[in-house]
A and B are shown apart, each in its own frame.
Chain A
Amino acid sequence: MIDQFTEGFAMAMRFDTMALVSVGLFAGMLVGSLPGFTTLMAMAILLPISFFLDPIVGIPFLLGIYKGGIFGGSVPAILISMPGTGAAVATSRDGYKLTQKGESRKALDMALYSSAFGDTCSDIFTIVMMFPIAYLVMQFGPPELFAVLLMSLVIIAATSGANPLKSLIMMMLGLWLSFVGTDPLGGVERFTFGLFDLKSGIPLLPMLIGVFALPEVASVIIKNEKSRQLAALVGERLSRAEFRRCLPTICRSTVIGTGIGIVPGLGQIVAAMMGYSAAKNASKHPETFGEGEIEGVAAAEAANNAVNGPTMVPLLTLGIPGDNVTAILLGAFVAQGLRPGPQLFEEQGATVFAILVAMVIANLLFVVIGYLSIPFFARLVTIKTSILIPLVIMFAFAGTYVFRSDATDLLILVAFGIFGIIARAGRFDVMPMVMGFILGPSMEYAFGQTVAMSGGDALGFFLSERTGALIVLIVTPAIGYLLWRRLYGSPARA
């Protein structure tokens, strides 16, 4: 094992590996920062290139695109409140407020450093703890997934808005919206009103852009500040003292993210929200969260990137990818003749360690590339509002359309835009709705599987067979209640 690692380490120290990782990082960052273009799309299109490169060059190249893309996604989230993925939603909350205060550069810097920090720690942890993590992943079946998702939703509802009751209402709405379309287990149509466009459900991207970006545009227009700039300055770079102040938060989020990394598929989104909620709860001044707290950006970004290490584990040890990104990596491995599975480490241990080491190197290169590009990104918001606002509107509509070239998505975008404006006027927070919408289908599927596993008696099944899931379900209401009490006083008063 140690021999394989040292051999792998030496194999990864190649100029061409680093060069192509840098190319991947830069390409991923550009694609990720354009709303509507997904990192997944970029990886799928560039996948064939990796087939004909050396494994230690081709696979890190794809990993570079992936890592660059995640950071790229937080750029529009911070600058124009336009999160392109669920993982960037938590970042946009404080990130955009910082931009409005004229501190966009600081927010981007913090996103970069905390991402790289969280990712590096989780990668190293993964390399060292590969097999224990693989064991944990195996303990995680549908009942556990259901319990963890339910707990996540309760924590999000309890910590996100100013009014827990309103948060719950919005979350229920989100869950209901996620039911629209074809039922994932039985194939029954629900709430589609016979409309074909609703049969495959409501798409996420138009909802995200609609409820987060359009209300911001509307508020700038309503205030009629046409001569002013959205932010007069790009602001200072992040100071070392500020980073040090946020370090406990970053570390906490890294631990949370690494832990949640074993949840298949939804890890990044859940981790970002949990990291953010935990930071807010631990803070001496939770009221500053959501109002431009740099710690909020750090918490979300460290957590969603810390997921990256453990998500590689099922792929490498079982050959079973947890999400679409690792599925693309699986394709790259297979085409190289590296068959992920139980024997991969025995047969190709050095190569696999070389790839994992390259992941860590990619994080370091990422800091350099990000540091150099941030000033250019940050300058975007210093354009005059009379030009910036039309640009943002164009990004919103073009991004929505380019996502899957479906004109119906534009109607959905506008509908959610109007909904977002109304919700804001009524002081309803849209975040719990979005989270309910994103996590709902997985939670429903996991519940359906649990019922099927137990032959219909899910409750007895939790009691008799699934101690872990049962414990999570039992502590969930208590956690929710404590968080409400702590952050908002008695829920009864709210």
Chain B
Amino acid sequence: MFRDFSKKALTSLAVAGAALAASLSSAQAEYPEKPITMVIPLGAGGSHDLNARVITSIIPTYLNQAMIVRLTPGAGGQKGTQEVANAPADGYTLLFTHNYIDMLQQHVENLPYNPAEDFVTVARVNYAPIAVAVQADSPYQTFEDLVAASKENPGGVQMAHSGNWGALFVPAAQMMKALDMQWNLVPYQGGGPALQALLSGDADVTMGFPSSLAAHVEAGKVRILATAGPERIYDDVPTFAEVGVEGDVGFMHRVVLAPAGTPEDVLAKLGEAFNALGEDKTFTRMMGRLGENIDIIGTAEYDAMRADQSEAYKVLVDELTGQ
């Protein structure tokens, strides 16, 4: 009966027990001595949620502590980000976010935090190229059809996205700019609800990542019109560059951040754990099931990438908002 009840299960059982016990005691010990909370500033059921469930199920093996996911959606990701920016820099509150929330929003509005100064990278976990999706019975057979309809009837095409200046909004805005067309952008509380809006016919088009779309594509409910990245992901679906959307459009980096000032040894310990996670066979298998890649990048390297992203987004926002 305990066929699958491997050593790992016993470890997680012990960890869970220890987690419950540790949350009641406050004795000083080596980090981590209590469960770590990973805040996701996005809604339930999106790709971050799924990725986080897999990460937090395996990483206790390397940290000897539970990692708890807390979903704090709201204000386009600022609610959760702010929560972590103001959390103690002790390594017990981490943020699992992406590049748009992290580096783009600062150019759009006054944030209650400074992303560059208030956060430090723990690890970049993976990246995902976005895809433009319509319902299978949509009149838009190709990306060109969609563009033509959008130009003909500006604002008549409903595009469901996951929140202003979020992972679906930004590529959509970049696309509208590049192709000189107009969509009506409607916010939903995450990628899952946006996909549901497409499936129910409330929205004409949405975007999504392979992990969220795969099941629906296979079931013949959703058609993909274009994908991000230099190479084709599906043989018969063009890339953004092929349809006239050039540049770094539609890549989402999933990254774990910690409040700035987190001690070096804590960051090192977390970094080690994430590197070990990247090598873990169970983790690789589970991420494969989700249709996600794994590409762990450490603190120094991704912090440099963040600086570059910030520059690039500033140009983009200035262009889009006409400043």
A interface residue numbers (CB < 8 A to B): 14-16, 41, 44-49, 51-54, 138-142, 182-187, 196, 199-200, 264, 314, 318-324, 326-328, 330-331, 334-335, 337, 339-344, 445, 448-449, 452-453, 455
- Pairwise interchain contact B66-A45, C-beta atoms closer than 8 A: yes
Which B residues lie within 8 Å of A187 (CB)? 75-76, 78, 109, 164
Contact with A along B45-65 (1 / 0, CB 8 A): 100011001101100100000
Considering only CB atoms, which chain B residue lies closest to A44 in the complex? B68
Q: Contact partner of B1 among A16, A49, A330, A335, CB < 8 A?
A: A16
Q: How far is the CA of A476 from the CA of B53 in the complex (A)?
A: 41
Q: Is B12 an interface residue (CB 8 A)?
A: yes
- Pairwise interchain contact B9-A45, C-beta atoms closer than 8 A: no
Considering only CB atoms, which chain A residue lies closest to B289 in the complex? A337
Q: Contact partner of B71 among A186, A327, A455, CB < 8 A?
A: A327
Q: Contact partner of A452 among B15, B75, B184, CB < 8 A?
A: B184
- Pairwise interchain contact B57-A455, C-beta atoms closer than 8 A: no
Q: Is B290 an interface residue (CB 8 A)?
A: yes
- Pairwise interchain contact A341-B289, C-beta atoms closer than 8 A: no
Interface size class of B (residues with CB under 8 A): 35 or more
- Pairwise interchain contact A343-B44, C-beta atoms closer than 8 A: no
Q: How far is the CA of A199 from the CA of B113 in the complex (A)?
A: 12
Q: Contact partner of B184 among A199, A326, A455, CB < 8 A?
A: A455
B interface residue numbers (CB < 8 A to A): 1-6, 8-9, 12-13, 15-16, 19-20, 35, 44-45, 49-50, 53-54, 56-57, 60, 66, 68-69, 71-72, 74-76, 78-79, 82-83, 86, 109, 112, 155, 158, 164, 184-189, 192-193, 195-197, 199-202, 212, 214-216, 218-219, 221, 286, 289-290
Q: How far is the CA of A14 from the CA of B2 in the complex (A)?
A: 12
Given A46-B16, A47-B53, A327-B44, verify A15-B184 contact (CB < 8 Å): no
- Pairwise interchain contact A52-B69, C-beta atoms closer than 8 A: no
- Pairwise interchain contact A319-B44, C-beta atoms closer than 8 A: no
- Pairs across A and B, CB under 8 Å, 29 listed: A44-B69, A45-B16, A46-B16, A47-B56, A48-B56, A48-B57, A49-B13, A52-B12, A141-B202, A187-B78, A187-B164, A199-B82, A200-B82, A264-B193, A319-B215, A321-B45, A322-B44, A323-B44, A327-B44, A327-B71, A331-B50, A331-B57, A334-B286, A335-B54, A342-B221, A448-B187, A453-B186, A453-B202, A455-B155
Q: How far is the CA of A323 from the CA of B49 in the complex (A)?
A: 12
Q: Contact partner of A185 among B158, B187, B195, CB < 8 A?
A: B187
Q: How far is the CA of A318 from the CA of B197 in the complex (A)?
A: 11
Q: Contact partner of B3 among A51, A54, A455, CB < 8 A?
A: A54
- Pairwise interchain contact A41-B57, C-beta atoms closer than 8 A: no
Q: How far is the CA of A15 from the CA of B155 in the complex (A)?
A: 58
Given A45-B16, A45-B35, A186-B164, verify A330-B53 contact (CB < 8 Å): yes
- Pairwise interchain contact B289-A318, C-beta atoms closer than 8 A: no
Smallest beta-carbon distance A98→chain B, Å: 32
Smallest beta-carbon distance B176→chain A, Å: 15
Q: How far is the CA of A184 from the CA of B42 in the complex (A)?
A: 12
Given A182-B78, A184-B74, verify A339-B187 contact (CB < 8 Å): no
> 14 more A-B contacts (CB under 8 A) besides A140-B200, A200-B79, A322-B44?
A44-B69, A48-B16, A48-B60, A48-B66, A51-B12, A54-B4, A138-B196, A142-B202, A196-B86, A264-B193, A324-B71, A327-B44, A331-B53, A452-B187
- Pairwise interchain contact B68-A52, C-beta atoms closer than 8 A: no
Q: How far is the CA of A142 from the CA of B76 in the complex (A)?
A: 18
Q: Contact partner of A320 among B2, B82, B193, CB < 8 A?
A: B193
Which B residues lie within 8 Å of A321 (CB)? 44-45, 192
Considering only CB atoms, which chain B residue lies closest to A323 in the complex? B44
List the 4 shortest-distance A-B pairs measured between CB atoms, nearest first: A331-B53, A341-B215, A52-B9, A342-B219
Which A residues lie within 8 Å of B1 (CB)? 14-16
- Pairwise interchain contact B6-A141, C-beta atoms closer than 8 A: no
Considering only CB atoms, which chain A residue lies closest to B35 in the complex? A45
